[in-house]
Chains A and B, each alone.
Chain A
């Protein structure tokens, strides 16, 4: 077993483009769940409309990348309004039910043969990311620091991705520490009290839903660009649950919670994957017990175990405050 390989695989994944995508999507979810108390179980739906907004504009309609970005953002706003208008006046569970259904409905809709002319159906869409890579100032080649190496394309996505994480992080930090953020946090704590002080709770929830959804859409675009294709089945409902996992891991209601959470989540996931693979190859684990094709499932089982331990021993996540968490459970 080569530990430096395991470690470099894990590190590469922890700081790689996909970790940035998940960090970004989880930051939107953090605004919903961590700050406003909105139970959005369909964040993947926002990623989907974002990714497809870009891909369809460019690949199907020959639009420019920037037009595609605008289309993706607009789709996210529309989706947020469609989800929010009927549910945000009702109890919190209604949004949860609606979003979980919407995420899956969107996936089935985008993959249907009825929509195939536009969305590519089950085959998805490719060849829409070249504008993005043309913008890259990085000459072709591979670039390595310490144990990790990235090719020029991945490095470009990675820089843009973490750059977006930084920008969104600063904007969210400004927002949640402003009077606007105070209103939103008061809604999370007790929306009746917020209402009694003259706050239009519905309107603030809507703003939060739209904003967090738009951030999710940006993450979806970045993911589409990174893999240079969109496919309905990569926007599986499980994505939302990974986002919740890493949000709880890092600490909900903390600006850096989703960032730390995403890095750690991908680090651990890849570490397990690589370690299991090597252990099987080296014969430490009999391939009768776990075969190589089962590694994917086993590593998620181990992540689930880690999550259980986390909930037992540090339910507030890495950055959260236990004292504060207990206050909400009066």
Chain B
């Protein structure tokens, strides 16, 4: 995306203001942290994929998590959302210790994630994919499931919401198609819409815009900022810097599994640690680079 098309969506003044006094340093405490990570580590064989000393994510803000490929962003999402086990460390969501909590419980707590490699349910229709995400459905229990009147009303309400979201994501006319027939970009959209269907407190979006039609990207970014303004917390991984600069209130940067920089978007572009991380150059700040044998 070129400069003159830069996202028109602006970071929220409210969320920005609340983070205004926060120093742009890795691990800095936030005024109102919803997600807090402490000493989280994960290695695969000899490779240390994640070693985050401390990270706090501000409630009601859009936080971008950036970093070169292999930095450990997806692994960090997997750990926090309960899909991977950390080797060490603890993390809290809304004051509740999440360490070791199974993935489905994390989602029910209101922390919902999407996947970098999309996971739509191919043999369910687009609409069924959406309905599945609705929470607290009585009809999902075995015995009430047999008695349609017990859940019919709830199902219809969920259906309305699903249709609204699908329209918003331009998937309305595909709603009765099997999700397996969608294109890569449409799958990304469906997964995002599905995550929102769950009415999450916070979403972890792993490269939500990859492969999505640029014209649609704009309207989706608008939608995400609206949700933020309504109080939802967003943390997303993204490689498109225009998107990152355009909508995030805060940016966290990972490299080699570590959190190397944090700050409001404008401070990130000229941060030395970030430039080095992306260029793959070792810098001389003590303690940020571990010599490899």
Contact = CB atoms under 8 A, between A and B. Distances in A.
B110 to A, nearest CB: 9
- Kindly name the residue among A195, A196, A200, A207 whose own CB sees the greatest number of chain B CB atoms within 10 A: A196
B148 A196 contact: no
Nearest to B139: A179
Interface string B194-229: 100010000000000000000000000000000000
Interface stretch (A14-22, A183-191, A215-223): A183-191
B108 A198 contact: yes
B151 interface: yes
A324 B123 contact: yes
B148 A178 contact: yes
Interface string B155-191: 1000000000000000000000010110000000000
Contact of A178 (B102, B135, B145, B181): B145
Given A178-B151, A179-B151, A197-B194, A189 B104 contact: no
A160 interface: no
A180 interface: yes
A61 to B, nearest CB: 31
A174 B128 CA distance: 16
B119 A192 contact: yes
Contacts of A200: 102, 104
Interface string A205-236: 00100010000000000000000000000000
B82 to A, nearest CB: 8
B202 to A, nearest CB: 13
Given A174-B146, A195-B83, A324 B151 contact: no
Interface string A318-330: 0000011001101
Given A182-B124, A183-B140, A327-B122, A195 B103 contact: yes
A201 interface: yes
Contact of B128 (A182, A190, A196): A182
A181 interface: yes
A198 B145 contact: no
Nearest to A187: B121
Contacts of A182: 124, 128, 131-132, 140
- Kindly name the residue among B121, B146, B178 whose own CB sees the greatest number of chain A CB atoms within 10 A: B121
Nearest to B108: A198
Contacts of B124: 182, 185-186, 189
B141 interface: yes
B242 to A, nearest CB: 28
A189 B139 contact: no
Interface string A143-178: 000000000000000000000000000010011001
A327 B104 contact: no
A199 interface: yes
Interface string B115-143: 10001111110001001110101111110
A106 B155 CA distance: 43
- Kindly name the residue among B135, B137, B140 whose own CB sees the greatest number of chain A CB atoms within 10 A: B140
A160 to B, nearest CB: 22
Contact of B198 (A174, A178, A198, A327): A198
- Kindly name the residue among A178, A181, A188, A323 whose own CB sees the greatest number of chain B CB atoms within 10 A: A178
Interface string A73-114: 000000000000000000000000000000000000000000
B107 interface: yes
Contacts of A171: 146
B42 interface: no
Contacts of A188: 123
Contacts of A195: 83, 102-104, 107
Given A179-B139, A183-B140, A197-B198, A190 B121 contact: yes
B243 interface: no
B81 to A, nearest CB: 7
A193 interface: yes
B59 interface: no
B180 A185 contact: no
A194 interface: yes
B83 A192 contact: yes
A219 B34 CA distance: 54
A149 B107 CA distance: 59
B161 to A, nearest CB: 14
Given A182-B124, A190-B119, A197-B198, 14 more contacts: A174-B148, A178-B146, A185-B124, A186-B132, A189-B122, A193-B119, A194-B132, A195-B104, A196-B103, A196-B107, A196-B114, A197-B112, A198-B112, A199-B140
The 9 closest A-B pairs by CB, nearest first: A327-B180, A179-B139, A180-B145, A178-B145, A198-B107, A193-B119, A189-B121, A327-B122, A198-B108
11 contacts: A178-B151, A182-B128, A183-B140, A186-B121, A194-B121, A195-B104, A196-B103, A196-B115, A198-B133, A200-B104, A330-B122
